[in-house]
Amino acid sequence: MKEYSLALVGATGVVGREARKVLEELQLPISKYVFLASSRSAGTKLEFMGKEYEVQELKEDSFDEGFDFAVFSAGGETSKKFGPIASSKGAIVVDNSSAFRMEKDVPLVVPEVNPGDISWNHGIIANPNCSTIQAVVPLKVLDDKYTIKRIIYSTYQAVSGAGKSGIDDLENGIQGYVDNEEYELTKFAHPIFNNCLPDIDVAMPSGYTKEEEKMINETRKILGKPDLAVTATCVRVPVFNSHSESINVEFENEFDLEELIETLKKSEGIIVEDDLPNHIYPLAANSTGHNEVYVGRIRRDFSVKNGLNFWCVADNIRKGAATNALQIVKYIIEN
């Protein structure tokens, strides 16, 4: 079997650290790894697969030696600058940022949903937004069977999605509450401890946030439905990890609820936890550290014909970023 090489950009960040864990679990036929980061992290030593590696500074010549894959988890500006360079040197770039997601010639891929789109990449493949990834895994299954007419998203997103500074704000808020002391915010406009902030990413002229527009536009692109009716309200909540989402769907076709649930149970990458009388439903705390998307509270929306409500939870750092990106790498290697 051929051996491959992979460069991980942003190797010391929140997603980069998780990507290293996922790579160790997947055991892909990769014999050469290089870990890249900003000058602040360059020189850091890290343990990976029983060996010690030194993190190298990301530079324009970092990809000159040639790589099969370059996985980027270092932010949009870094991806815009260095992604095309890596691609020009022969690497297939899998990018976790929003830099290329809506580019027409860049596939936006969730392997359980639209792996076929990988085939028309031109050297760069985009990883969708974390909140979109977990939603479209069950939505694709339902769309194939019942044809989706409209989607309403309401998200409850963990602070890990805002990076280390988001985690710091929650930790500092908890400690400040315990000590009854003031503390300085490093990420959010308001304290996230004991709060819900309907304000993720930047405000857009539409009145939506950029996060909400990402979910709307990315869902349409991934499902291949540019005119699909989608709306979203995205909220940051005081949870450390794993995003939760309330998803309301209206279908073109009628459905049998039990058949619909069985369809979800049999689908790749989905775990159904749906027993309300016994208080069994997806929980953020239980999904953390797992690669699957958890679905529960599955019930009819009686306010509209062919309507459905369900609750969807996944580890936003794993399935929402690191795992999805590396599933793309795995798919390319196997196909």
Q: Between helices 257-265 and 130-146, what is the axis angle to 10°?
A: 130
Q: Is 49 left (phi over 0), alpha (psi -120 to 50) or beta?
A: left
Find the helix or strand (DSSP H, E) in which 257 lies.
helix 257-265
Contact indicator for 274, 295 with CB cutoff of 8 Å: yes
Q: How far is CA 242 from CA 21, 87, 317, in A?
A: 17, 31, 7
Q: How far is CA 293 from CA 165, 262, 324, in A?
A: 26, 15, 11
Other beta carbons within 10 angstroms of residue 168's beta carbon come to: 17
Contact indicator for 243, 155 with CB cutoff of 8 Å: yes
Give the Cα separation of 41 and 19 in Å (integer): 17
Positions marked active-site: 130, 243
Contact indicator for 326, 305 with CB cutoff of 8 Å: no
Q: Please count the CA atoms within 13 angstroms of the CA of 173 that sit on its side-chain side.
A: 21
Using the Cα atoms of residue 205, residue 208, residue 212 and residue 218 in order, give the sign of their dihedral: negative
Q: What radius of gyration do the chain's Cα atoms show? A: 20
What is the identity of the amino acid at 91?
A
3-state secondary structure of 127: coil
Give the Cα separation of 213 and 35 in Å (integer): 32
